Amino acid sequence: MAQKTQQAKEKTPHAQPEPFPIPEKCIQIDGSILEGGGQILRNAAALAAITGQTIHVDKIRAGRSKPGLRPQHLTGLRLITELSGGALHGGAQNSCAVTLQPRALQCRHAVGDTATAGSCALLAQAALPCLLYAAPDASREPPGASTLELRGGTDAAMAPSISYLQHVLLPTLRRLFGLTLDLQLHRRGFFPKGGGRAELTVHSLEQGTPLQAINLTDRGDITSITVSVFQAGLMKPDVAQRMASAAEATLQTRWQHPVELHRSISLESKERAVGNGAGILLTAVTSAGRILGASVSQERGRQPEEIGQQAAEELVEDLQTVACVDRWMQDQLIIFMALAQGTSRMSCGELSLHTRTAMCIAEKLTTAKFRVRKPKGDVQHWIIECEGAVVTAQTAMAR
């Protein structure tokens, strides 16, 4: 009888939180528009914390099979609430509406723990822009640095891997904006338990200094491609080799241009990983210093050859557009373009729904204005232009 009662409790959905008053002066956001998922929450919460605006988001993930906040979304909202010293109403699992009232961002050490295999990389995406606009803390050394400990899944499906952040996103942000950023991977964690751990260090912008506009319209030639694979736990010993070989064979067939091809294989120890998993990251470097990547994690029931081939095909498809960014990068740069000073331009492949969503949220919460154009006679790529809102750490703190 006790067992049946316990099973019934596990099947009972979490109760919705008690209704809460919506502040009169707040920006209301429909959480079901466009991408209709977690990206709306991540971008809206980050921009709200940076600009000091209260937001109310309803219809959260309304079109999903399990609507409302999942653990990873809730963790991200709570993390941004902590970073901004604010208040979060409606912050409960399965809640379909939340209100975030931020106060002031300040440099600190914080922990984001999904307690599941939820993506560490997506937590970092949400928090990183906030930390750039945090006020220095004289008790820290250095005062303008923040550290964020990320716990959960490092190689989750339907999300960039932690390796993508390390080797593609962060180097791109450092090069484009001159930012001081670092990410250390201490332990990988996989579905279903998670258990991964990484540490992100972010140095905030100087007070009164905005991000500068970027011009990502010249890609240059592809000079090298690196195939990086890893495996951990109770996997067949040849999984990583098979994955790498399949990726290389696909690249040689699909990308018939002279290029240096490198291979890197990591066999993670028990101390460096929780559970069983494998994954692949392909990075292409251009003569103009651009980095484009493709990342795929091992999924149950799929052969290593399928994973390697998929990653290579994704990278080649992005390279063939002559765009300066890959499909994962285009939406991640939108928030930085919106906050910057001047007119930014980015050449990309066909706009993803995530990118359109990011632009929509940025225009709702800042004065940034986006426009998209297609170069005449070119069917392979688009140009996104943005007149930035010129947000500085100083204006962000002027509540």
pLDDT at 395 over 70: no
Residue stretches of the annotated binding site for ATP: 125
Q: Are 203 and 240 in contact (CB under 8 A)?
A: no
Token match 């500068």: residue? Answer: 212
Q: Are 274 and 196 in contact (CB under 8 A)?
A: yes
Name the active-site residue from 56, 89, 354, 381. Answer: 354
The whole-number pLDDT of residue 7 equals: 42
Q: Quickly state the pLDDT bin for 16 (edges 50, 70, 90).
A: low
Q: How many angstroms separate the CA atoms of 344 and 389, rounded? A: 11
Instruction: For residue range 123-133, list pLDDT tens digits in order.
Output: 999 999 999 99
Q: Are 377 and 351 in contact (CB under 8 A)?
A: no
Instruction: For residue range 201-230, list pLDDT tens digits in order.
Output: 999 999 899 999 999 999 999 999 999 999
pLDDT at 46 over 60: yes
The whole-number pLDDT of residue 221 equals: 95
Amino acid at 287: S
Which class is domain 22-104?
alpha beta
Instruction: For residue range 21-35, list pLDDT tens digits in order.
Output: 788 889 999 999 999
Phi, psi at 127, each rounded to 5°: -85, -30
Q: Are 278 and 229 in contact (CB under 8 A)?
A: yes
Instruction: For residue range 49-58, list pLDDT tens digits in order.
Output: 999 999 999 9
The whole-number pLDDT of residue 249 equals: 97
In the chain, % of residues over pLDDT 90: 80
Residue stretches of the annotated binding site: 125
Superfamily name with CATH number, domain 108-207 = RNA 3'-terminal phosphate cyclase domain (3.65.10.20)
pLDDT at 43 over 60: yes
124-138, 165-179, 279-293, 381-395: range with lowest mean pLDDT: 381-395
Q: Which fold has domain 222-319?
A: Dihydrodipicolinate Reductase; domain 2 (3.30.360)
pLDDT at 3 over 80: no
Q: Is residue 257 annotated as part of the catalytic site, yes or no?
A: no
- Ordered by start, the domain boundaries in the chain are 22-104, 108-207, 222-319, 326-392
- Burial of residue 198 (CB within 10 Å: 0-12, 13-18, 19+) is buried
DSSP string, 76-112: HHHHHHHHTT-EEES-STT-S-EEEE----B--EEEE
pLDDT at 399 over 80: no
Instruction: For residue range 330-360, list pLDDT tens digits in order.
Output: 999 999 999 999 999 999 999 999 999 999 9
Q: How many angstroms separate the CA atoms of 388 and 121, rounded? A: 25
Instruction: For residue range 110-158, list pLDDT tens digits in order.
Output: 999 999 999 999 999 999 999 999 999 999 889 999 999 999 999 988 8
